[in-house]
Amino acid sequence: MTGQHHLHAHRHLHDRHRAVLPDWLSLYYDEPIEITHGEGRHVWDAEGNRYLDFFGGILTTMTAHALPEVTKAVTEQAGRVIHTSTLYLDRPMVDLAERIAALSGIRDARVFFTTSGTEANDTALLLATAYRRSNQVLAMRNSYHGRSFSAVSVTGNRSWTTTGLSGLHTLYVHGAVRRRGPFAHLPDAEFTAACVADLEDLIGHTGDVAALIAEPIQGVGGFTSPPDGLYAAFREVLDRHGILWISDEVQTGWGRTGDHFWGWQAHAASGPPDILTFAKGIGNGMSVGGVVARAEVMNCLTANSISTFGGSPVTMAAALANLSYLLEHDLQGNARRVGGLLAERLRAVAAGVDRVREVRGRGLMIGVELADPATGAADPDAAAAVLEAARAEGLLIGKGGGHDTSVLRVAPPLSLTVAEAEEGAALLERALRVLR
């Protein structure tokens, strides 16, 4: 097929997409791409262009594209039985639940599998409100927890909060965004103290609260995070009031942050959360999500409940193989080492670009915030331009942030090599030249 025919077929697919899918289902790029295959840390589009993938389908291709161990596990399980449901014993589900329970740090843990992070957070909210007999929830400003009716109602990021109508009464707390907001000028210890005082005051003005839900590092919010220990300080307040802590580990779990296996461990003085939610990377692209909670919380539901697709034998087999690969190859350690190198390179690149306000993150979860150098105002147009330029250079990245979407999100598969980190930094450096 000639290049012209490729372009015509590509535009035809885009037209078909717009004709049959929702207007709010956004696509990256002025000329959206169709990814047809991948291998390792690279993917190819329908026109044959090769890209270094620094986004992994929104932090989901966690280990590598076309990982043989995962492909083999999926194929072999699909050849035996694809689906049974939670009404029958499911050996892969029990195997994975045992491993996750042991890794979670939660005592007497129970695990419930879902098909997505949204569904996992929805389940966590159901458990917390039922256990506490309260519909009041605390959430963090600038947060994102999914697209379901309950999840958007605890999402503090205006770009993703599609409705204010909800059965939940949500109050938003300061602390998750370190460099903006009323406490941004304070040193870390004073910042934490001010956020704790805000939390105390907020709880004092409301009735019984079910839970605080928080991402240890905000994903969609632009890879922002509080000082280490903030959630430990919050936990002291929560415990005094009997309020549960839900740690949303959909993007921070499985060692992506390098320093820790779970994001909550940066606040480890508090011990593990009451409820932990996960998804994305564990399935390496298969639809796996879930909730871990101590038995008394997980077992508090008094009505029947099942999951038709959660815990599917095929997705469980994929997740088991993926988790085994991750642990056996110390991908957490690789995220720490190679992520540290990548962040260092990106800071060096950013030093010469006045529109880069901050390079932040942990492990292979790095945000590059763009802003007007004169006013400090977020610059979403600059982020959009760099996203396009990076694609033209052969690099796929994401973007996020507050309502202004001005942060470039860099989150490669955890098997990223040093050479690929160097290459990606060089490609992003070239892409950033559109801002000069």
pLDDT tens track for 312-332? 999 999 999 999 999 999 999
Assigned domain for 14 exists? no
Report which DSSP code applies to 302.
-
Same domain, 234 and 262: yes
Q: Does 6 have pLDDT greater than 80? A: no
State the CB neighbour count (10 A cutoff) for residue 370: 29
Same domain, 291 and 340: no
Task: State the residue range of the domain holding 351.
Answer: 330-436
Assigned domain for 117 exists? yes
Same domain, 264 and 340: no
Q: Does 426 have pLDDT greater than 80? A: yes
Q: Per-residue confidence at 402, pLDDT binned at 50, 70, 90? A: confident
Q: Does 307 have pLDDT greater than 60? A: yes
Question: What integer pLDDT is reported at residue 156 of this predicted model?
Answer: 87
pLDDT tens track for 253-263? 999 999 999 99
Q: Does 59 have pLDDT greater than 80? A: yes
Q: Does 152 have pLDDT greater than 70? A: yes
Assigned domain for 41 exists? no
Assigned domain for 9 exists? no
- 226 neighbors 188 (Cβ within 8 angstroms): no
Assigned domain for 29 exists? no
Assigned domain for 419 exists? yes
Rounded to whole angstroms, the Cα distance separating 247 from 169 reads 19
Lowest-confidence segment of 233-242, 386-395, 398-407 by average pLDDT: 398-407
Same domain, 189 and 336: no
Q: Does 165 have pLDDT greater than 80? A: no
pLDDT tens track for 92-149? 999 999 999 999 999 999 999 999 999 999 999 999 999 999 999 999 999 999 998 8
- 174 neighbors 194 (Cβ within 8 angstroms): yes
Stretch 278-304: mean pLDDT: 97
Q: At residue 46, what are phi and psi to the nearest 5 degrees?
A: -65, -20
What are the Cα distances from residue 80, in Å, to 72, 87, 95?
Answer: 13, 18, 17
Same domain, 235 and 299: yes
Last residue in a domain, options 312, 328, 344: 328
Same domain, 214 and 362: no
Q: Per-residue confidence at 207, pLDDT binned at 50, 70, 90? A: confident
Last residue in a domain, options 293, 328, 363: 328
**Which CATH number does the domain housing residue 89 bear?**
3.40.640.10
Instruction: Identify the sign of the CA torsion 220, 347, 252, 323.
Output: positive
Rounded to whole angstroms, the Cα distance separating 435 from 429 reads 11
Same domain, 314 and 427: no
- pTM check: above 0.85: yes
Instruction: Give SS3 for 411.
Output: coil
Assigned domain for 52 exists? no
Same domain, 187 and 280: yes
Same domain, 321 and 350: no
What total number of domains does the chain contain? 2
Same domain, 307 and 390: no
Same domain, 197 and 271: yes
**Which CATH number does the domain housing residue 391 bear?**
3.90.1150.10
Last residue in a domain, options 296, 328, 360: 328
Same domain, 186 and 334: no
- CA trace torsion 301, 302, 308, 314 (10° rounding): 50
pLDDT tens track for 213-269? 999 999 999 999 999 999 999 999 999 999 999 999 999 999 999 999 999 999 988
Assigned domain for 358 exists? yes
Question: What integer pLDDT is reported at residue 3 of this predicted model?
Answer: 55
